[in-house]
Structures are given as structure tokens and as C-alpha cells.
């Protein structure tokens, strides 16, 4: 029995040797541990195995600690031992080149290099065959030399990479039927005493570079992977000396005018705007003044030349800025958007990476310190040009008091679509025509309403709009009237605090998409508050996953084309959602050209839909009146019902699973807030979060709310089955 234990302690010797301990130290530690273990347990420990002995050794002297856990052990911190003793020799090198998670070298995985079995053993014909055992002795002697680590370190091999390279080199030499001729000759010379083991290093280094190709391009890799200084991400921009001009001033100060004048007078240039409206405006102005200019947005490409050849001037949204094309002048508008948490990256990218001799920045004066600090990283100076308002801004001493006091040229600013509907209807009831602009309208409708208001010959002289007019549109209003100084509380929308990217990722997580395509889908610019847009987005993803083209006919079937002029506000809101779906199609068409082929047909459809929406906006008061009078809607959200009205998602429809989920969330939140689930059948309709949301979006009016309450009460009285069933269920619970 003791002899059996001694054999197991010999294996422990090998374990200790594997971790770099000398024979004397191992013998001393193992001997003491053996005596302590046997003296403690006696001869009754017949179940002792190598794990018990090794654990005793660790517990007694705390020589080292295993950090890996044996696979398959549940709740036990057991050391992971080699499967056989022959593997222990390798572990000695594994410890010396132990993988360090903080070491960059641990990221590199060696490329397997196998010998070619068809090679002719030329070396053996020249110098004779080499004994594998002698070759192993030479390789081990070569690895033990201290000079090897210094030479390896000079060539980019640290301890970890050196160990990996040597293990691979040794395996290659021992498993190869025929060594390379030059290496075979060197090994033969060493065995005959005519050479030195150091002569192996060039061949070892050659093998190391084969399994670690990064060694020959390490400097380039370090530059590419160094993300500490964003300015260095754009070497083409850093290769030239750029002139930075900051045009700082408030609205209506002429700062953008001066920058655009320099843009149009240059031989080539790019305008980077925050909105598609601004990009379209610059595109139109340049072409009207005889400067050919192209338009590039996320959903659209327009060329000034009929043959679709690129022009020297480009007007684009800031996200679409091309950082590969050099130009003379670049204009980056609304530079203060650098601070925006969602889109600020686009302005930073354009400012640091655009290849232009002159860069003109337009924005608020408060952004000057940030731009100057950013330009310090590039070594470029910032020239600041300050402007003052061309017309003095005055604040009225008292409020308007009543909408009866509104005069021609006034602009009434609201902060919700519901307020826009309400104010515009009250003004039109006074016999005055109004122009309406809010964020959900298509760009063409916004421009048409702006032209209508600015046209001196048009009788429409009053504008009712949201804060969407603050950027991208120019008006000739005399007075701005704010209905409130507080914006809408985002907490009314239970999805507002959810990150857009995460929201889209969760929506399509069950759709089998490649990783790159999934990322592009998650970057899609959609309004997650609009269920119809989200539903079509999910259909796009599922159609893409099947590799089926999203043709014009397919799109028409799913959106219900063609459309009639809207009869209610719900119809108008639905048409706006359809317009966003067409925008989404065009956005995807420039990223997946093969599966979104009908670009021009969809663009023509969008133009026709824009005209229909314009007709609806012109008759906004009638739409509001029809909604209150209960006129049936003709635009279903997820498909038409038999009576032409609205209906919910079909049961079992995968495309609308997320809609049902969101409806359940609203339902349970309202139930939770009420605090009494049993009373919800007879509870009156109050102003919960869902009610406030529908009222704010204009989908529900107070009169409609009262009508729903009346219908709910009548249905409860006429159909008491649910209440009777609840009573019966309660009666069954009582013990007899």
C-alpha cells in the first residue's frame, strides 16, 4: 500500500516540476507532505488517489493555487489535471507562457502549420537521417537558453507567444516525415558537433512568423487598434492642413448665408445638414443659381446631371457625409449638435474626418469651446466669425390672452400634435385660414405649407406648428406665440425610455438574420411609437431572412395601396405612417439593393401619397369634425376590416406579436395602477396613460372617450355573462 502511495507522490513530483520547482524543493515538499498525510490518515485511506495527495500538498504548504475547475464537477473546486503523464511535460511550458487576460498577446491564436507529406527528404539525402530523440534533445536545449527570450522579445515574441511558437515548432519538427532541407542540414551539423544550437533560431523565427502572421505587421496593427485619439482614425484628413472657420451667431444672423456663399463659389464642396429639409433646400438653391449639386440622404439620391454623373458639389445629411472624397470647401451646419447624445457622433465624424481645404462651421456661440478643444487634438486653429441678429428680437410684456387677437403673420407654436389640431380648428372657426406644420408630416407637405404661409398672394397668413419649425424652415412671421413654455412629459409614453437600438434588436431577435444584416436593421430610422411602421419593419426583416425580394407588388399588398383622401384624423395619421414605411423602404434599398429593387416605383408612390396628405392637411378641420361625429375610418392600422374600420392584429399573426405584447403591457399597467382587478369590469374609463397618449396623438377626443364609456356600460349591462361567471367561480370556492 505504501509503495502505491509513493508511486502517486512521484506523479506529484511531475506536477511540481511542471510549475518550475527544482528537484530538491519538490522532494522536500513532497516528502514532508507524504509523511504528514500518512501520519494523519494511517493505512486506512485505501481510497486515496492522486487528487487527494495533490490536495494535501497544496493545503499543507500553499505552494500554488489552481484556478481552473474540473469540468463536470458540480459545486466542487477540483483542479483540472492532465489526462496522462506524458502531457505534464507540456504544462511546464504552459506555466512559463501562462495566458494572461491582460496581455494583448493572448488575443492571438496560432495558425496551424502542418508538414507536407509529399516533400522529398532532400536533407536526408545530403547529410543522412536524423534521430527524433536526438532532435528532441537539441530542441529542449535550444528552448532553455536565456538568450532565446531576449532575441524573441526583440522580434515581438513575449513569453506567451514564445511558448506557443516553440510548442508548434517542436511538434512540426517531430511529426514531419521530412524536415525542410536547410533546417535538416543545420540539425545534422549540430549533432556532429559542427554547429551550435543557436543556429536554429532563424528557422524557429521563420516558423513563428508563419503561425503568428501579425509579427510582420505589428506596428500597423498597433496604429489601427489604437482608439485613444479619435483624430487619428482619419489619416487622410490628418495628411492635409485644413482651415477651420466657425460662423457663430443666433438665428437670422446670416451665418449660414456666408458659409453657403463660399460653398457655391468653390470648385467643389460638400454641405452637411442636420435635416433632410435643409439638404433639399441647399440642393435646390445651388441648382437654381447654376451650380450643379447632388443630393444624398439616407433614403434618396438625386443627381444634377441627366446622365447621373456625380457633380463637384454635394448636399447631404450629416450622417451621409463621404469622408473619402476630397473637396475645397465643406460646410457643417448646426455644429452645436456635437453635444447630442443620439446624433452627436455624426458631427464629430464629419468635423474630424472630412477631407476639405476649408471647413465652415455654423452654429451657436456656446459650441466654440468644445470645437476648439476638439481641434487641439488635430493641431488645427479655429477662426471665429461672430454675427448679430439682422432684426432685433423683442419679448412682449403681456400674453396674447385670446386667439381672437391673432393677426396675419403670427406663428403659434405648440408642443404636441393635439394642441396643433385644437388651435388650428379654433382659429379656422373664426373664419381665418391657417397653415399647419408638425414633425409627422412628409417633407413635401411641410415645404408646401411653408410656401403657402410665406406667399404674399395667398390668403393663409397664420401658421400653427410644433417646434419642428425651429430647424430647417424659414418663415416670414412677425410674431411667435407660444401656447405653453413647457414641453410634453415623455413619461406619458411607456416606451420612451427604451433605447431605440435595443428596441429594434428585441423586435427581430427571433428572425434568422446574418449578424451584419441584423446590425443594419437595428440602425433603421423608424418611429417606434407607430405600430404600423414597426409591423412593416418586422415584415421587411422576415422577408429579407427568406431571401425574397420586396417588390412593388408585395409592398402594395401589405400597405393597402392605393389610398383615398383621408376622412378622419385617424386616416391622416395612418397615411403619415405609410409615408414613413416608404421612407424605410428607400433607406433599405441603398443598403440591400438586390432585395429592395423597385426604388423609382416606391419614390413615385411616395410623391402621390404626399399629395394625398397635403389634401388632408388642407381640410384638417373637417377631419377633426368627422372624428368627433364618429365617421368610419377608411385606413386600418394592420389591415382592413369588413366594415372598413380599424381592427387589431389578427390572432396568430407573427408580424403583430409585438403589438399584442405592447397592448398587454399597457393593460397590465393600468390594472396594476387601479389596484383592484375584480372591479375593472365595472370601472369607468378614466384618464390613464393609454387614454392620455391617445388624446395627445389626436387619435381620441373627449367626445369619443365619453361614447366609449357609454358603449362599455351598455355592453356590461346587456351581457352579464362575464360577471355571472365570476360570481359562479367565487361561489365554487366556498366550502359546502
Q: How confident is the model at residue 48 (pLDDT cuts 50, 70, 90)?
A: very low
Q: How far apart are CA 329 and CA 338, in angstroms?
A: 20
| Contacts by 533-537, CB closer than 8 A, 24 or more apart | 533/577, 533/580, 533/581, 533/584, 534/507, 534/658, 534/659, 535/638, 535/649, 535/655, 535/656, 535/658, 535/659, 536/581, 536/584, 537/504, 537/507, 537/508, 537/584
User: When comparing pLDDT for 533 and 41, which is higher?
Assistant: 533
Across 611-627, average pLDDT: 75
152-177 pLDDT, tens digit per residue, is: 888 888 888 888 889 988 888 888 88
Query: Percent of the chain beyond pLDDT 70?
Result: 68
CA dihedral 436, 441, 445, 448 (to 10 degrees): 40
> Could you tell me the CA-to-CA distances from 24 to 17, 28, 55, 612, 681 in Å, in that order?
10, 6, 20, 93, 85
Query: Given a cut of 50, is residue 483 above it in pLDDT?
Result: yes
Nearest-angstrom CA–CA distance, 671 and 390: 56
- Three-state DSSP class for residue 10: helix
Rg of the chain, C-alpha, whole Å: 38
User: What value, to the nearest 5°, has the Cα angle with vertex 643 and ends 642 and 646?
Assistant: 95
In angstroms, the CA 462 to CA 408 distance is 6
Whether 366 shows a pLDDT value over 50: the answer reads yes
Residue 346 pLDDT: 92
What per-residue confidence (pLDDT) applies to 83? 32
- Torsion angles phi and psi, residue 331, rounded to 5: -115, 120
- Give the pTM: 0.56
Q: Across residues 574-602, what is the average pLDDT?
A: 88
* Grid cell at residue 433: 385660414
Q: Residue 640 pLDDT more than 60?
A: no
Tell me the range of 155-159, 314-318, 464-468 where mean pLDDT is highest.
314-318
User: Does residue 269 have a pLDDT over 90?
Assistant: yes
Residue ranges covered by each domain of the chain: 2-14+22-84, 104-222, 230-386, 403-488, 492-655, 659-732
Q: Cell numbers for 573, please give them.
A: 395619421
More confident residue, 109 or 670: 109
pLDDT at 472: 58
Mean pLDDT, rounded, for 188-206: 87
Measured distance CA(156)–CA(213) in Å, rounded: 11
Residue 263's contacts (CB-CB under 8 Å, 6 or more residues apart) are: 269, 271, 313, 329, 331, 360
> CA–CA separation, 723 vs 715, rounded Å?
12
Q: Note whether 596 and 544 are within 8 A (CB).
A: no
Contact between 117 and 177 under an 8 Å Cβ cutoff? The reply is yes
Q: What is the tens place of the pLDDT at every residue in 105-132? A: 777 888 887 776 666 777 777 777 888 8
Element (H, E) at 479: strand 479-482
> Quick one: pLDDT at residue 632?
57
Res 370: pLDDT: 93
Task: Give the three cell numbers for residue 303.
Answer: 443627381
- The set of cell numbers assigned to 584 is 424605410
145-174 burial code (b ≥16 CB/10 A, e <16):
eeebeeebeeebbbbbbbbbbbbbbbebbe
Sequence-separated (6 or more) residues with CB below 8 Å from residue 165: 110, 152, 157, 204, 207, 208, 211, 212
CATH no., domain 230-386 = 3.40.50.300
Contact present, 149 and 162 (Cβ < 8 Å): yes
Fold assignment, 492-655: Methane Monooxygenase Hydroxylase; Chain G, domain 1 (1.20.58)
Binned at pLDDT 50, 70 and 90, residue 694 comes out as low
d(CA 304, CA 314): 10
CATH 3.40.50.40 at 403-488, yes or no: no
Place of cell 536524423: 130
Q: In the predicted model, is pLDDT for residue 103 greater than 50?
A: yes
Question: Which pLDDT band holds residue 239 (cuts at 50, 70, 90)?
Answer: very high
60 has a pLDDT exceeding 60: no
Determine which of 110-119, 294-303, 591-600, 620-629 has the lowest per-residue pLDDT on average. 620-629
Question: Which pLDDT does position 229 carry in this prediction?
Answer: 85
- Name the most confidently modeled range: 296-305, 345-354, 391-400, 505-514: 345-354
- How many residues are given for the chain? 736
Sheet strands side by side (includes 269-273): 301-302, 293-296, 313-317, 269-273, 327-332, 356-363, 243-248, 382-386
pLDDT at 182 over 70: yes
Mean pLDDT computed over every residue of the chain: 73
Return the pLDDT at 41: 38
Q: For residue 118, what pLDDT is reported?
A: 60
Confidence of residue 356 (pLDDT cuts 50, 70, 90): very high
What b/e readout covers 615-639, taking b as 16+ CB neighbours within 10 angstroms?
Answer: ebbbebbbbbebbeeeeebbbbbbe
Taking the chain, what is the end-to-end CA distance rounded to the nearest angstrom? 74
Which residues in 231-355 belong to E strands, given as ranges? 243-248, 269-273, 293-296, 301-302, 313-317, 327-332
- 99-113, 193-207, 445-459: range with highest mean pLDDT: 193-207
Query: Could you give the CA distance from residue 638 to residue 505 in angstroms, rounded to a whole number?
Result: 22
Predicted confidence band of residue 489 (pLDDT cuts 50, 70, 90)? low
Mean per-residue pLDDT for 640-669? 40
Q: Is 492-655 the same fold as 104-222?
A: no
So what's the architecture of 104-222 in CATH? Answer: Orthogonal Bundle (1.10)
User: In this model, does residue 368 exceed pLDDT 90?
Assistant: yes
Secondary structure of residue 626 in the 3-state scheme? helix
Q: Is the pLDDT of residue 316 over 90?
A: yes
Amino acid at each position: 500500500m505504501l509503495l502505491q502511495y509513493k508511486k502517486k507522490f512521484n506523479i506529484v513530483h511531475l506536477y511540481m516540476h511542471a510549475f518550475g520547482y527544482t528537484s530538491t524543493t519538490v522532494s522536500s515538499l513532497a516528502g514532508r507532505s507524504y509523511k504528514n498525510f500518512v501520519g494523519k490518515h494511517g493505512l486506512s485511506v485505501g481510497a486515496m488517489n492522486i487528487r487527494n495527495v495533490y490536495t494535501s500538498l497544496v493545503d499543507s504548504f500553499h505552494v500554488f493555487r489552481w484556478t481552473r475547475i474540473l469540468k463536470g464537477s458540480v459545486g466542487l473546486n477540483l483542479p483540472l489535471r492532465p489526462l496522462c503523464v506524458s502531457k505534464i511535460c507540456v504544462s511546464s511550458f504552459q506555466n512559463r507562457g501562462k495566458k494572461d487576460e491582460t496581455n494583448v498577446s493572448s488575443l492571438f491564436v496560432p495558425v496551424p502549420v502542418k508538414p507536407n507529406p509529399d516533400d522529398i527528404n532532400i536533407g536526408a539525402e545530403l547529410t543522412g537521417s536524423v534521430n527524433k530523440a536526438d532532435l528532441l534533445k537539441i530542441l529542449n536545449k535550444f528552448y532553455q537558453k536565456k538568450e532565446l527570450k531576449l532575441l524573441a522579445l526583440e522580434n515581438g515574441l513575449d513569453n506567451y507567444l514564445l511558448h506557443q511558437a516553440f510548442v508548434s515548432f517542436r511538434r512540426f519538427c517531430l511529426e514531419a516525415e521530412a524536415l525542410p532541407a536547410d533546417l535538416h542540414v543545420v540539425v545534422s551539423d549540430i549533432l556532429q558537433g559542427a554547429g551550435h544550437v543557436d543556429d536554429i533560431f532563424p528557422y524557429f523565427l521563420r516558423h513563428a512568423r508563419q503561425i503568428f502572421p501579425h509579427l510582420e505587421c505589428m506596428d500597423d496593427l498597433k496604429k489601427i487598434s489604437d482608439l485613444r485619439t479619435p483624430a487619428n482614425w482619419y489619416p487622410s484628413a490628418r495628411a492635409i492642413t485644413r482651415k477651420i472657420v466657425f460662423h457663430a451667431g443666433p438665428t437670422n444672423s446670416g451665418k449660414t448665408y456666408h458659409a453657403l456663399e463660399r460653398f457655391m463659389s468653390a470648385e467643389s464642396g460638400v454641405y452637411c445638414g442636420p435635416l433632410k429639409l435643409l439638404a433639399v433646400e441647399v440642393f435646390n438653391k445651388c441648382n437654381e443659381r447654376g451650380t450643379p449639386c447632388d443630393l444624398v440622404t439616407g433614403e434618396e439620391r438625386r443627381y444634377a446631371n441627366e446622365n447621373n454623373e456625380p457633380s463637384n458639389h454635394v448636399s447631404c445629411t450629416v450622417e451621409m457625409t463621404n469622408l473619402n472624397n476630397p473637396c475645397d470647401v465643406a460646410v457643417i451646419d448646426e455644429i452645436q449638435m456635437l453635444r447630442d447624445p443620439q446624433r452627436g457622433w455624426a458631427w464629430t465624424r464629419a468635423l474630424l474626418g472630412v477631407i476639405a481645404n476649408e471647413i465652415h462651421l455654423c452654429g451657436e456661440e456656446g459650441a466654440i469651446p468644445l470645437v476648439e478643444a476638439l481641434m487641439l487634438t488635430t493641431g488645427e486653429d479655429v477662426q471665429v466669425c461672430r454675427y448679430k441678429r439682422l432684426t432685433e428680437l423683442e419679448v412682449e410684456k403681456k400674453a396674447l390672452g385670446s386667439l381672437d387677437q391673432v393677426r396675419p403673420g403670427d406663428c403659434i407654436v405648440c408642443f404636441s400634435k393635439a394642441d396643433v389640431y385644437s388651435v388650428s380648428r379654433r382659429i379656422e372657426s373664426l373664419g381665418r385660414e391657417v397653415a399647419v406644420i408638425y414633425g409627422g408630416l412628409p417633407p413635401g407637405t411641410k415645404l408646401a405649407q411653408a410656401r403657402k404661409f410665406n406667399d404674399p398672394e395667398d390668403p393663409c397668413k397664420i401658421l400653427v406648428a410644433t417646434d419642428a419649425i425651429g430647424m430647417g424652415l424659414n418663415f416670414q412671421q412677425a410674431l411667435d406665440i407660444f401656447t405653453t413654455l413647457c414641453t410634453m412629459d415623455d413619461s406619458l409614453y411607456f416606451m420612451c425610455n427604451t433605447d431605440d437600438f435595443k428596441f429594434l434588436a428585441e423586435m427581430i431577435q427571433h428572425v434568422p438574420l446574418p449578424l451584419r444584416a441584423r446590425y443594419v436593421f437595428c440602425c433603421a430610422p423608424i418611429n417606434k411609437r407607430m405600430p404600423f411602421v414597426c409591423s412593416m419593419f418586422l415584415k421587411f426583416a422576415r422577408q429579407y431572412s427568406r431571401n425574397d425580394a420586396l417588390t412593388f407588388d408585395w409592398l402594395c399588398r401589405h400597405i393597402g395601396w392605393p389610398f383615398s383622401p383621408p376622412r378622419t384624423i385617424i386616416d391622416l395619421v395612418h397615411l403619415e405612417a405609410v409615408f414613413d414605411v416608404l421612407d424605410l423602404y428607400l433607406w433599405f434599398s441603398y443598403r440591400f439593393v438586390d432585395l429592395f429593387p423597385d426604388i423609382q416605383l416606391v419614390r413615385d408612390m411616395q410623391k402621390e401619397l404626399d399629395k394625398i396628405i397635403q389634401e388632408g392637411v388642407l381640410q384638417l378641420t373637417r377631419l377633426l369634425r368627422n372624428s368627433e361625429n364618429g365617421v368610419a375610418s377608411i385606413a386600418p392600422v394592420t389591415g382592413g376590416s369588413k366594415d372598413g374600420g380599424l381592427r387589431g392584429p389578427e390572432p396568430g399573426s407573427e408580424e403583430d406579436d409585438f403589438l399584442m405584447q405592447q397592448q398587454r403591457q399597457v393593460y397590465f399597467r393600468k390594472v396594476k395602477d387601479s389596484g383592484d382587478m375584480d372591479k375593472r369590469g365595472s370601472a369607468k374609463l378614466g384618464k390613464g396613460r393609454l387614454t392620455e397618449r391617445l388624446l395627445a396623438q389626436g387619435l381620441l377626443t373627449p367626445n369619443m372617450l365619453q361614447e366609449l364609456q357609454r358603449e362599455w356600460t351598455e355592453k356590461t349591462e346587456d351581457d352579464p355573462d362575464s360577471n355571472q361567471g365570476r360570481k359562479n367561480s367565487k361561489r365554487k370556492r366556498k366550502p359546502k
